[in-house]
């Protein structure tokens, strides 16, 4: 071996050693409420993102989730993803400022966020202006994907799509229920998320003429007392109540319903609050029979073993059970990592193009969806909803009936 050949070999060894380290860490920014009113949900959600990053960075050969079987991102020389989480406190202005900081100072290649739709609205504006991809896994307000943004992608269904599930569910129930459900009351908090849900429900009323909206009650998030709200419902006695509430008010409403014996045939909630572990711990037996329109359930493990694997890892790492919002944030993170890998580059334009070309199959997900594929507005077209009912203290998948894990209880028994 001549000296210059040896030199060549050494050079290529050095080059090999350098190449991955050039990409060694690919920074992704996560914007979540880590203090303030919904800090608990923010924490749970960021934990799921951490788990997704761990699965991408590590090797899990028995999973079909993209990038699980390989270490890091193979198209970027096995580069690892580094997660930088920022706290927006549920405040849209802080969200925008943190997005700017993550992009300009931390040099993240993409953002993920933001739990609150109101914060996703402002922070994605910053990403749009600076030309950085933004993936939202759980901000549901419909207008987010109606703004014609180029850099915004949403894996979760919008609140409009979710509202339709409430009506198809009731139409299904009415096939066998006697008496049939006719009147609906709508109770929602008055930030963007609740308002949008209310608007969508009102919009679907004409497509489902057999139902009548008895009342629409908007309340202020962070209220000290809900007696007046519940008294209105007590006077009207609607057949079902649709709810859009965050954790503290969900507990307060449920207790006040019980106090005044407001007992419709079903309570149906959007968002996880009425089925969360905090809700079940706070209410014990009274937490039973609430329906939650969910995105995800551990019962999906029956048809998708990956669900059980991920749920188990989550429980091991963070000491509590995974629920729908963390599962969606997990999925959004995987979608983003898969796009960065297919882009084979940290160039924002290439990542955006790869995101737009995303085509994941149901078997690659932990969601009950038909897949992940974005339309021109950046909205995932493959989403599907389920209804979960808390039975004997644990949430069980009860609808659609062909995927159900337990038989739903309808109408709900009166308060004990």
Q: Which of 190, 304, 381, 394 binds another protein (CB under 8 A)?
A: 190
Is the Cβ of residue 174 or residue 182 nearer to another protein in the bound state?
Answer: 182
225 belongs to the binding site for another protein (CB under 8 A) = yes
304 belongs to the binding site for another protein (CB under 8 A) = no
Distance from C-alpha of 402 to C-alpha of 16, rounded to nearest angstrom: 52
Nearest to 32 by CA among 99, 127, 78, 132: 99
Strands 152-154 and 212-219: unpaired
74 belongs to the binding site for another protein (CB under 8 A) = no
**Contact region with another protein (CB under 8 A), list: 74-82, 133-141, 163-171, 246-254:** 246-254
Considering only residues 265-284, where is the footprint of another protein by CB under 8 A? 278-279, 281-284
Strands 291-294 and 266-270: parallel
Distance from C-alpha of 130 to C-alpha of 151, rounded to nearest angstrom: 10
Return phi, psi of residue 84, to 5°.
Answer: -120, 110
416 belongs to the binding site for another protein (CB under 8 A) = no
- Smallest distance from another protein to CB 214, Å: 9
- Is residue 29 within 8 A of residue 102, CB to CB? The reply is yes
Is the Cβ of residue 43 or residue 128 nearer to another protein in the bound state?
Answer: 43
Tell me the C-alpha to C-alpha distance, in Å, between residue 191 and each of 44, 91, 137: 21, 11, 19
- Smallest distance from another protein to CB 92, Å: 18
- Smallest distance from another protein to CB 219, Å: 5
Q: Which x/- pattern, by CB under 8 A, does the window 307-336 give for another protein? A: ------------------------------
Is the Cβ of residue 7 or residue 260 nearer to another protein in the bound state?
Answer: 260
Give the pair of three-digit tokens for residue 64: 């079909």
Q: Which residues of 1-27 are buried (b: 16+ CB within 10 A; e: fewer)?
A: eeeeeeeeeeeeeeeeeeeeeebeebe
205 belongs to the binding site for another protein (CB under 8 A) = no
Residue ranges in contact with another protein by CB under 8 A: 35-40, 42-43, 190, 215, 217-220, 222-225, 227-229, 231-232, 235, 247-248, 251-252, 255, 259-261, 278-279, 281-284
């Amino acid at each position: 071996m001549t000296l210059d050949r040896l030199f060549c070999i050494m050079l290529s060894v050095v080059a090999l050693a350098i190449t991955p380290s050039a990409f060694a860490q690919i920074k992704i920014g996560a914007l979540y409420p880590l203090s303030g009113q919904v800090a608990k949900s923010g924490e749970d959600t960021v934990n799921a993102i951490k788990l997704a990053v761990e699965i991408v960075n590590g090797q899990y050969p028995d999973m079909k989730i993209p990038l699980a079987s390989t270490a890091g991102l193979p198209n970027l020389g096995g580069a690892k993803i580094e997660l930088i989480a920022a706290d927006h406190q549920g405040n849209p202005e802080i969200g925008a400022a943190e997005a700017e900081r993550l992009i300009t100072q931390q040099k993240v290649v993409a953002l993920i966020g933001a739990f609150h739709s109101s914060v996703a609205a402002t922070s994605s504006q910053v990403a749009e202006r600076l030309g950085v991809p933004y993936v939202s896994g759980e901000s549901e307000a419909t207008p987010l994907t109606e703004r014609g943004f180029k850099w915004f992608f949403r894996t979760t269904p919008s609140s409009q799509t979710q509202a339709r599930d409430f009506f198809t569910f009731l139409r299904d129930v009415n096939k066998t229920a006697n008496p049939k459900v006719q009147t609906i009351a709508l109770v929602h908090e008055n930030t963007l998320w609740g308002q949008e849900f209310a608007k969508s429900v009102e919009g679907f009323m004409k497509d489902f003429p057999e139902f009548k909206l008895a009342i629409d009650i908007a309340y202020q998030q962070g209220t000290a007392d809900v007696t007046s709200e519940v008294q209105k419902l007590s006077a009207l006695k609607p057949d079902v109540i649709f709810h859009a509430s965050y954790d503290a008010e969900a507990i307060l409403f449920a207790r006040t319903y019980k106090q005044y014996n407001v007992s419709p045939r079903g309570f149906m909630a959007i968002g996880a609050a009425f089925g969360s572990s905090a809700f079940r711990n706070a209410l014990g037996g009274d937490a039973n029979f609430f329906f939650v329109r969910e995105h995800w359930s551990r019962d999906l493990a029956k048809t998708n073993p990956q669900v059980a694997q991920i749920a188990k890892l989550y429980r091991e790492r963070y000491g509590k059970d995974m629920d729908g919002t963390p599962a969606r944030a997990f999925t959004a993170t995987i979608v983003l990592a898969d796009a960065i890998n297919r882009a084979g580059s940290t160039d924002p334009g290439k990542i955006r193009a790869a995101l737009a070309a995303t085509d994941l199959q149901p078997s690659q997900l932990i969601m009950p969806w038909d897949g992940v594929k974005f339309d021109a507005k950046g909205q995932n077209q493959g989403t599907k909803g389920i209804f979960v009912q808390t039975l004997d203290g644990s949430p069980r998948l009860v609808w659609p009936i062909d995927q159900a894990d337990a038989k739903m209880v309808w109408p709900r028994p009166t308060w004990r």
